[in-house]
A and B are shown apart, each in its own frame.
Chain A
Amino acid sequence: MSSANNLKKSLLVLALATTLAACSDNDNDPVIEDPVVVEPIVVEPVISEFTITFSNLTAGQPLSPLSVIAFGDEAPWSFGTTASVGLEMLAESGANEEYLSYESALAAVSAEGAIGPGETTTVIITVEEQETLNLSFAAMLGNTNDAFTGLSSLDVSTLEVGGSLSRTTTAYDAGTEANTETAETVPGPAASGEGFNEIRDDTADIITMHPGIVSNQDGLSTSALGVEQKFDNPVSKIVITRTQ
């Protein structure tokens, strides 16, 4: 806040100087104006740092490297809308390069690696302080066609240094690939099938909650998945602490 005020003040000084210079014109006596020297006021950007822990609460689903995107107004994904190609890639294969290149991102980072059931990973994101600052999270449930978990948007604008927020997350369906659960289409270790495929063949091309996997032990004979891959909500826990 104080830096924003400083910035406003420095802009005001510049504006005043310009106005004064313009007013000094005189019909009869054109004088060569002294150049107005304005000392540049360097405003050090205030950096916010958030340390995020991400825990896998599932029985048997690996979670792909967590993607964290800081943004102002437009979330990289939203419930009930069509997934971007970046999110489709993340949800179908776990690869997040395209997703993290989101054009409205103020900052974007990936956790170092995937985490197995019961594991926790930590990732740090730094971003210049903003009046409106939101964080968005996404990670694939590896042994599925296109399931992912995360939070569309979490407002951290007013989070003080040392403060933290804790959330559990549910499983979403990207809506970009039919949930066939076949060995050819599930990329995780339970099947080692294909990851991203640009064909969108789901029942509706929108992000919804995930209905869960069926598995070959519960009536889907063509499924490569077993009871070990079943999950229920919540699937992960995310704790965000502002560390700077």
Chain B
Amino acid sequence: MKTSTLTIAILLAAASQSTMAAELDLKVTNLTKGIHFTPLLITAHNSEDTLFEVATEASTALQTMAEGGNIAELVAQATAAGSDMAANPAEGLLAPAASTTATLTTTDGNEYLSLTAMMLPTNDGFVGLNSWKIPTEAGTYTINLNAYDAGTEQNNELVVEGSGAPGTPGIPAAPGGDAGTGGTGILSGDTNTSIHIHPGSLGDDDLEAGNSDLSNTVHRWLNPVAQLTVTVK
């Protein structure tokens, strides 16, 4: 009895390791005209330990990233899960039209890729990739990435210093230096508290007043907002 259980366990273990480790070259390009990305986190993980899941509530770690760009908690989570990762390959912000590269060697069983980075200036917008199955066939694959809303903060579109902490309303920074002040705040009826496709920023045409501190000709975007190129070696 014991032997057969052991045999099954060994067989199962062998089956779960049937996918080989992969060596990946990664390239991320910011496709937007006026949005910066905070430090990127790219993980290779098993079928469970994705960085986020659409149409579910964000974890505190994801909220911390989406509202302030801080990836420390997500990194700790991914480390505990045994994920392989490329953390902050651009060593800071990734400007509009800029690209960054990373290499990632995946361990057996980490067959999926996920990616996150906060989009600035937004309240809790982030560029994301949610559990993309890494192909076993060598080649170069291109994936278009969309903008998500973490669903954790109202999009009031006000730039407020120090608002990067989770739960503090406001946009912590506008790295392009092209946002305004003195807005009264967008009153949004956005009640979707799950992770969803970002509806886009509104902005306005008055940088000293109006509802939003964002500029409607500079800080809007259309999907896709980023492109990920994966070369499987």
Contacts and interface: CB of A to CB of B under 8 A. Distances in A.
Q: Does A pair with B?
A: yes
B99 A80 contact: yes
7 contacts: A80-B99, A204-B96, A207-B97, A211-B222, A221-B205, A232-B222, A233-B224
Range of interface residues on chain A? 20 to 34
Interface residues of B, number: 26
Contacts of A212: 200, 220-222
B203 interface: yes
Interface in A183-236: 203-204, 206-212, 214, 218-222, 232-233
B222 A222 contact: no
User: Which of A80, A173, A178, A219 has its CB near the most chain B CB atoms (within 10 A)?
Assistant: A219
A79 B33 contact: no
A179 B99 contact: no
Given A80-B98, A210-B33, A218 B218 contact: no
A222 B32 contact: no
Q: What are the 10 closest A-B residue pairs judged by CB atoms, nearest first?
A: A80-B97, A208-B33, A211-B220, A209-B31, A214-B216, A179-B217, A212-B222, A208-B97, A211-B33, A220-B205
Contacts of B217: 178-181, 211, 214, 220
Contacts of A214: 203, 205, 216-217, 220
A125 interface: no
Contact of B33 (A203, A218, A219, A221): A203
| Main DSSP-derived SS at the A contact region | loop
Nearest to B210: A219
A171 interface: yes
B29 interface: yes
A170 interface: yes
Contacts of A181: 217
A180 B221 CA distance: 16
Contacts of B202: 218-219
A142 B224 CA distance: 22
Contacts of B219: 211
A221 B222 CA distance: 21
Nearest to B212: A219
